[in-house]
Amino acid sequence: MKFNRIFIVMMVMGLVLGAGRVGQAAEVNLKDYQVVVIQDLEVPPGSPAPESAGMQMAEKAVYQLKRYSDRYHLFETVSMEVSKGKEMPSGKKVLIIKGEVKEYARGSLRRQIGRSFIPGREFTGSSSFAARYQFIDKDTGKVIYETDLRTTSTGSEDTVEYAMDRNGEALAKVVTKFKGK
């Protein structure tokens, strides 16, 4: 009987804490932003990712965000980090997206063969990419939202570059959701 009470208390606490996190995520609103700037992702020292992975991922994110922006009319401008010669449009609300590479795993034949023995996993690749993204308001410098996105390659497209493409698309979907489209 005592175990049941403890279990019920734990369930209630889980529901209360879980509902609080859902409420926090619902508060993110990107409707007011007209410009989005993607900064190169940071590659931590000692990471298996090459130095160029941060810049490459930023380019893929810009490509995917431009695709979604053209389709759903999300932003007036989607660009890479502004260089010193370029100026930001004045009077526009700017969203900065920056991140850090968390995982960079190349595919291997051993992993592909291992996954082929798991039912329903024949078409899953063995390459993966993960990053932690921060959405920052340029005017205030405040972090509006943080998220971790992890993607894997699929089937014959078993490359980290393809996993990065999928990660850029996942980022574009998150932005689209918070933009209300």
How far apart are alpha carbons 135 and 145 in whole angstroms? 5
31-67-61 Cα angle (round to 5):
85
- DSSP run (H or E) holding 79: strand 77-80
Select 29-179's CATH number: 3.90.870.10, 3.40.50.1400, 3.40.50.10140, 3.40.50.10610.
Answer: 3.40.50.10610
Contact (CB, 8 A) for 124 and 152: yes
Which has more pLDDT, 179 or 112? 179
Question: 44-79, pLDDT tens digit by residue?
Answer: 999 999 999 999 999 999 999 999 999 999 999 999
pLDDT band of residue 180 (cuts 50, 70, 90) is confident
